[in-house]
Structure 1
Amino acid sequence: MDSSMDNTDSPNTINILSRRNFLSLTLTLLYGTHNYLYANDKNTHQKSQHISESSANLPFKQGIKCGFLPITDHLLIIASTFFSHPKYYFVPIKFSQWADLAEALRAGAIDMAFVLAPIGMELRAQNVPIKLLLNSHTNGSSLNVRIDSDVRNPAELHNKKIAVPSRFSSQYFLLDRILHKHGLDLHQIQTIDMSPPEMQAALYNRVIDAFIVAEPFGVIANQRNIAKTLLYSKDVYPNHTCCNIVVRDNLLEDSIVAAIAQSMQQAKEVLEQNIQHAIKLQSSIMGQNPLAIQKVIQNNLVSYQNLLPNKVALQEFKEFIIREKLSKNLAHLDIGSYLFDMQPYMNSDIKINS
């Protein structure tokens, strides 16, 4: 994602619109026709375990397309296995870059998403019709340098090239916090926007000196002897907000929200109580390294305990983005109107009527 999302008057608007149309058309063709395929090909259904099995006897359900990245912050995507609704089924759609996920959400090519909190806020500020339902996690990131780096602590990152997933990321916010704690600021390093899967290769090839990213990419880079971890985000800002689950306004029906809440809570219980089952479920959806996932969960590098959004944390993101002059839109965002009250749906017995 660019350092600014204010691209309304950009000369690239035509390209952006074309990209939106392409994303919308592609995802519609891939998943919008699934009802027909699903009704006529039982083998396809058996192979597509990530689509909720509850739709087996109701082939003409409508798919709810949910975007996510292959990071442990988004492990609640296994909720697709538990999602149950008489009229809808859950379709996980994996992205490798935040910019593509954000554009798909903006264009209406996906219906909901696991999204970086600042990106969701910016989209809402640009009048994209979405609401924030839940946190997808707290904690979950790490700052890493090359395995042979002389850097031993963040104070030695002066003038270093550091990759972040996006300027509109909790990682960029956390990096600012880390640097200030060690006598530096963002203007004393070189920041490079980079998709998480590209960071290891960039570090190995000395394109960058460090990266801050969601797990399991830090753990995987350590396992491959490419990187060593300087610190974990949980030790810098315990229980910090990072990614949220947002849904387009047209899906904010009581029964749909209840189904989402129930499936997310079931996924949360599996992640907390049955790690091996969670690893098996994510392998067919996210496809991440099982050993890396196991280490992240067992070492409590990420938490799924509190899924209710933190308004204070969102305000911190808003103030940071405005201070860094990354957005002209967020100053006008009413965070309260962006939040959907999920309290009544959590651990409730709300019936999902047909």
Structure 2
Amino acid sequence: MIKKFYTPIAIALLAALTACGDGSTGSKEQNAAPAEAQKVENTVSKAETREHRTIKLAYLPITHSLAGFEAAETERLKKETGLDIELVKFGSWTELMDALNTGRVDAAVALVELVMKAREQGIDVYLTSLAHRDGNVIVVGNDIQSVADLKGRTFAIPHRQSSHYILLNEALAKEGVDINDITITELAPPEMPSALASGQIAGYCVAEPFGAKAVSLNIGKVLFNSKDLWPDSICCGLALSGKFLSEHPELASQLVRAVREAGLNLEHDHEHEKELAAKYFKVSKDTLDVSLQWISFDNLEIKKENYDILSEKVKKYGLSENPVPYEDIVKNVE
């Protein structure tokens, strides 16, 4: 009787212990499997949802656009980002800004003052980064010894809404010359060196490499470098359309990062910098050697204190009575 009574109890206990053991082991395996599956699913999901879209980046063929060129070329070699930058060339700032303002391009290396004016007029465009630092000079004919010699003469700039117009005013103010004592004309940058050589103009201020061209050909000389007149001056920036920013925030961030990283690449490899420049505009090696000494591509963040100084100069020299505040135009999306 005892044996018969014990056996069922032992069997029951053994079964219970076995069941508990199986349940514990099974729980670990079952928990691990979903975790691994979720990990794989997240990886696949991320790969599938990564956006692949061509970004149209407008530019003028100037050294100020070099970080954009470098970003486009570098990203073509990167398969992991999916960032495809299509460079769209324009012949003037007016054409370039029209394309940006109307959404025909997603982004542009543009004169910051033109982007400010567009934003002031209610156009949905924003600044996300500088495109370069410095890189502007006031070039004059070899007969000009000082700013005072420009009185009664003609001076060329690419656009009145520009850092070049501000730099001219700064140079004149430095030596007490009134802006009304000279004639200001707007010329396409490539025309300026020949206009100086022919005597049509007495000097000019414009994006590079056109100042360096006059110097390397010995038809002109540098009267002022931008950093001597306006330290930490703001000239060209990376501007994005508001529609692109709102609809593709991830791509916008990738683009800004790519341009800033490209700037650092150029800053640390000047031979590559020259090779890249030679691909996008036809100038001599001598001209590039001179031009690239004046420009930098590191530290491309648009700092509020520098933007506020620009705003004051914009008001001072009549470019705008009420420039857009930093918070309403600069988007830090990196």
Same fold flag (TM > 0.5): yes
- Residue 306 of structure 1 corresponds to 299
Which runs of at least 4 in structure 1 moved beyond 6 Å after TM superposition?
none
- The question of 1:181 aligning with 2:174 is answered yes
Using the size of structure 2 for normalisation, the TM-score is 0.76
Question: Post-superposition shift, 1:179?
Answer: 0.6
Amino acid in structure 1 at the alignment position of 2:160: R
Question: Post-superposition shift, 1:223?
Answer: 1.4
Amino acid in structure 2 at the alignment position of 1:164: I
Distance 2:295 2:129 in 1: 16
More helix by percentage? 2
Larger radius of gyration: 2
- The question of 1:232 aligning with 2:225 is answered yes
| Number of residues of Structure 1 aligned to a counterpart in Structure 2 | 278
- Residue 328 of structure 2 corresponds to 337
Question: Post-superposition shift, 1:210?
Answer: 0.8
Q: What secondary structure, in the 3-state scheme, does the structure 2 residue paired with 1:247 have?
A: strand
Distance 2:323 2:151 in 1: 34
- Match runs of 1:51-90 below 5 Å: 61-77=52-68, 78-83=70-75, 88-90=83-85
- The question of 1:246 aligning with 2:246 is answered no
255, 266, 275: which one pairs with 2:261?
266
Q: Which runs of 5+ in 2 are unaligned?
A: 1-50
> For structure 1, which segment, 112-121 or 79-88, has the greater mean C-alpha deviation from structure 2 after superposition?
79-88
Distance 1:225 1:286 in 2: 20
Distance 1:247 1:161 in 2: 35
2:264 touches 2:298 (CA, 8 Å); kept in 1? no
- Residue 30 of structure 2 corresponds to none
143, 164, 169: which one pairs with 2:157?
164
- The question of 1:136 aligning with 2:131 is answered yes
- Residue 49 of structure 1 corresponds to none
- Against the structure 1 CA distance between its residues 308 and 332, is the aligned structure 2 distance closer, same or farther, given a 3 Å change threshold? closer
CA deviation map 1:28-79 (0-9, x unaligned): xxxxxxxxxxxxxxxxxxxxxxxxxxxxxxxx95321111122222211221
- The question of 1:203 aligning with 2:196 is answered yes
Q: Which runs of 5+ in 1 are unaligned?
A: 1-59, 346-354
Distance 2:310 2:231 in 1: 15
Amino acid in structure 2 at the alignment position of 1:120: V
Q: What secondary structure, in the 3-state scheme, does the structure 1 residue paired with 2:71 have?
A: helix
Amino acid in structure 2 at the alignment position of 1:133: T
Calculate percent identity across the aligned residue pairs. Answer: 28
Question: Post-superposition shift, 1:305?
Answer: 2.1
- Against the structure 1 CA distance between its residues 326 and 240, is the aligned structure 2 distance closer, same or farther, given a 3 Å change threshold? closer
> For structure 1, which segment, 176-185 or 287-296, has the greater mean C-alpha deviation from structure 2 after superposition?
287-296
Question: Post-superposition shift, 1:134?
Answer: 0.2
Distance 2:116 2:167 in 1: 17
Amino acid in structure 2 at the alignment position of 1:337: D
113, 118, 124: which one pairs with 2:108?
113
Question: Post-superposition shift, 1:211?
Answer: 0.6
